[in-house]
A and B are shown apart, each in its own frame.
Chain A
Amino acid sequence: MREAILLLLGGDAELYGIIGRTLAISGMATLVAMLVGVPLGYALARGRFPGRTLLLGAVNTGMGMPPVVVGLVVWLLLTRSGPLGDWGLIYTREAMVVAQFVIATPLVVGFTAASIQALPAQLPDLLASLGAGRLRTLWILSAEARLGLLAAVMAGFGAIVSEVGASMTVGGNLRGSTRVLTTAIVTETSRGNLPVALALGCLLLALAFAVNLLLTLIQQRRNG
């Protein structure tokens, strides 16, 4: 334990690199998942089209998708001999962003759809009748559903920052390149370097807590 604390306080450059990479990859995947997932969640919540219930069911299933399976599918797509192999993304940070995006998006869509559906059904019509255009309506509805939308960010980020299967499969856990906190923990554990693994675990928890605390503060700011 003492060794773990020393490592945390010691200012190790590699450690800081891993932390930065973890935040950058999971942050980017969450951001893209929000950009895609929020409009999709809104459409699923408010749209009336054939297959909507089937899609909602698929999204709800996707919310519990095993990361290692996602990693396997993305690996099959991106590997050199795969259909997207020419892109040369396998064992890169971009491949990890893609895999994490696939894991986070159903969560974002599901949480968004649920929070928009929880709003009064006539609210969009009310806003339209008061004179709001489409974008303004979407903005006001998002503000009304902000508790759920921030829960979507937290769920998405929480799921991908702590997953190891997909990141290991498509990133390859390359030192200085695609190694993130979770894959580093696996590496150190397999080497029997338990104090370092434990220190990294504490750091991962602290990181997740800090990000979620920040989001919770934003979420609760106007609900105190």
Chain B
Amino acid sequence: MDVAVEGLRFERAGRTVLDIAGLVFADGTTTAVFGPNGSGKTTLLRLIAGLERPSAGAIRIGGTPVGRDRASRRHVGFAFQEPVFVGGSARRNLGLGLALRELPAAQREARIAEAARECGIETVLDRSARQLSSGEAQRVNLARALALRAPVTLLDEPLTGIDRLTRVQLLDDLPRMLATFAATTILVTHDREEAFRLADHLVILVDGAVRAAGPKAEVYACPPDRAAAELLGYTVVAAGGRTIGVPAGAWAVGEGDGALELTVDRVVDMGDHLHAVGLVRGTRVDVRLRGTDPVPAPGDRVRVRPLLQVPVG
């Protein structure tokens, strides 16, 4: 089902948290709503889930307006950022959502078994959900939302608060889990790697407003402003009367088209190579040195050039 956001405004304590003129999450897509903390990402998910009422405008799922009623919520499976469980086993937690959606008892066990298998939680199903490790708890949290097989799946920072190894595993596993269970998926993240690895579409949200939206390659190629470009990982500098964005790692020492002056602050030894870190026109730039580059000292001025660049704005 499509999720359409129309003239949406949400205010809290007199402050506008979200102001979105129009936005569509197309049926069958996985979209990362990407932005800094406090940009209104979680609020957008809560509005789509019918847990908040908009101050103005509407959200439609498959053409039906979302309200704070049970029927609206049944279109949505929501994995909260913090895994929250009722007392009892992981199996009970998975089964609760299915029971509340009135899935016949005979089908519940099969659905739980399928979700457990796909989400890698078969061995913890009968353990107390509240005593699971952070990684196990996050998998159960995701499995509970996915097992609903809702037309719209919402994931709020699905890889936050878990150890690095589990995060790497989940980054690998989540696309498969989503392909098995989810139709339209909207995930919220402030992590660029998560957004690019998990989603095919991006929405950049800054201060409650959409700065860019579309297929991720298109959004990445044309950041609309400095804030969006920096979120996408570009180093933004003024060069030749215009503003350019240079992807991380796309700087090299040397003269050439668009070369700029780097004032070296420090040189970082990464073991097998060195980085020169300093300022280009007030912007922090990190340049990987090749073996043939002379090693600068702090305070030196070095000419550097962007290997790739995109116009910003």
A interface with B by C-beta (< 8 Å): 120, 122-123, 125-133, 136, 140, 144
Complex CA gap A211/B36 in Å reads 56
Q: Which of B79-87, B277-285, B292-300 contacts A (4 or more CB under 8 A)?
A: B79-87
Nearest CB in chain A to that of B130: its residue: A120
Interface with A: B95-103, B163-171, B193-201, B303-311, which one? B95-103
Asked if A125 contacts B51 (CB within 8 A), the reply is: yes
The answer to whether A130 touches B96 (Cβ under 8 A) is: yes
Q: What residues of A have a CB within 8 angstroms of the CB of B87 in the complex?
A: 144
Chain A residue nearest to B141 in the complex (CB): A126
Q: Is A122 a contact partner of B84 (Cβ separation < 8 A)?
A: yes
Contact status A126-B84, CB under 8 Å: yes
22 chain-A/chain-B pairs, Cβ below 8 angstroms: A120-B82, A122-B80, A122-B82, A125-B46, A125-B51, A126-B78, A126-B84, A128-B51, A129-B49, A129-B77, A129-B80, A130-B97, A130-B100, A130-B101, A130-B144, A130-B148, A131-B70, A132-B100, A136-B100, A140-B86, A144-B86, A144-B87
Q: Which of B51, B82, B85 contacts A129 (CB 8 A)?
A: B51
Could you list which residues of chain B lie within 8 angstroms of chain A, going by C-beta atoms?
A: 46, 49-51, 70, 73-74, 76-78, 80, 82, 84-87, 96-97, 100-101, 144, 148
Among A120, A122, A127, A129, max chain B CB count under 10 A is at: A129
Residue pair B101, A131 in contact (C-beta under 8 Å): yes
- Pair B80/A131 contact, Cβ less than 8 Å: no
The answer on a CB contact under 8 Å between B86 and A131 is: no
- Closest residue to A121 on the B side, CB-wise? B84
Query: How long is the Cα–Cα vector from A125 to B79 in the complex, in angstroms?
Result: 11
- Closest B residue, CB atoms, query A146: B87
B162 to chain A, nearest CB (A): 17
Cα distance, A28 to B80, chains bound together (Å): 42
Bound complex: CA A129 to CA B148 (Å)? 11
Q: How far is the CA of A20 from the CA of B168 in the complex (A)?
A: 66
B residues near A120, Cβ cutoff 8 Å = 82, 84-85
Does B80 lie within 8 Å of A125, measured CB to CB? yes
Whole-angstrom distance between the Cβ of A137 and the nearest chain B Cβ: 10
Top 5 A-B pairs, shortest CB-CB distance: A131-B100, A130-B97, A129-B78, A122-B84, A120-B84
B86 near A123 (CB under 8 angstroms)?
yes
A123 interface neighbour in B46, B74, B84, B148, Cβ under 8 Å: B84
Q: Which of A123, A128, A130, A136 has the most CB of B within 10 A?
A: A130
Residues of B within 8 A of A132 (CB): 70, 100
Which residues from B are CB-within-8-Å of A122? 80, 82, 84
User: Known interface pairs A125-B51, A136-B100. Does A131 touch B73 (Cβ–Cβ under 8 Å)?
Assistant: yes
In the bound assembly, the distance between CA atoms of A132 and B101 in angstroms comes to 8
CB distance from B187 to the nearest CB of A (A): 15
Q: Nearest chain-B residue to A125 (Cβ)? A: B51
Residues in B with CB closer than 8 Å to A129 are 49, 51, 73, 76-78, 80
Q: Which residue of A lies closest to B78 (CB)?
A: A129
Give Cα A130 to B76, complex, Å: 8
A131 B84 Cβ-Cβ under 8 A: no
**Contact across chains for A133 and B82 when beta carbons are under 8 A apart:** no
User: Please, which residues of chain A bring their CB within 8 A of the CB of B70?
Assistant: 131-133
* Complex CA distance for A9 and B70, rounded to whole angstroms: 59
Using Cβ atoms and an 8 Å threshold, which residues of chain B touch A133? 70
B275 to chain A, nearest CB (A): 42
Cβ of A123: which chain B residues have Cβ within 8 Å of it?
A: 84, 86
Give the residues in chain A near B74, CB-CB below 8 Å: 131
**Bound CA span A1–B31, Å:** 80
Contact A131 B97, beta carbon cutoff 8 Å: yes
Given the complex, which residues of A lie within 8 Å of B50, measured CB to CB? Answer: 128
Known pairs A122-B84, A126-B80; list 18 more (Cβ under 8 Å): A123-B86, A125-B46, A126-B78, A128-B51, A129-B51, A129-B76, A129-B80, A130-B101, A130-B144, A130-B148, A131-B74, A131-B100, A131-B101, A132-B70, A132-B100, A133-B70, A136-B100, A144-B86
Interface centre among B70, B76, B86, B148 (most CB of A within 10 A): B86
Name the distance in Å between B90's Cβ and chain A's nearest Cβ.
14
- Chain B residues with Cβ below 8 Å from A127 are 86, 100
CA distance A117 to B50 in the complex (A): 23
Q: A137: nearest residue on chain B (CB-CB)? A: B100
A129–B80 Cα gap in the complex (Å)? 10
Residues of chain B within 8 A (CB-CB) of A136 are: 100
How long is the Cα–Cα vector from A196 to B73 in the complex, in angstroms? 64
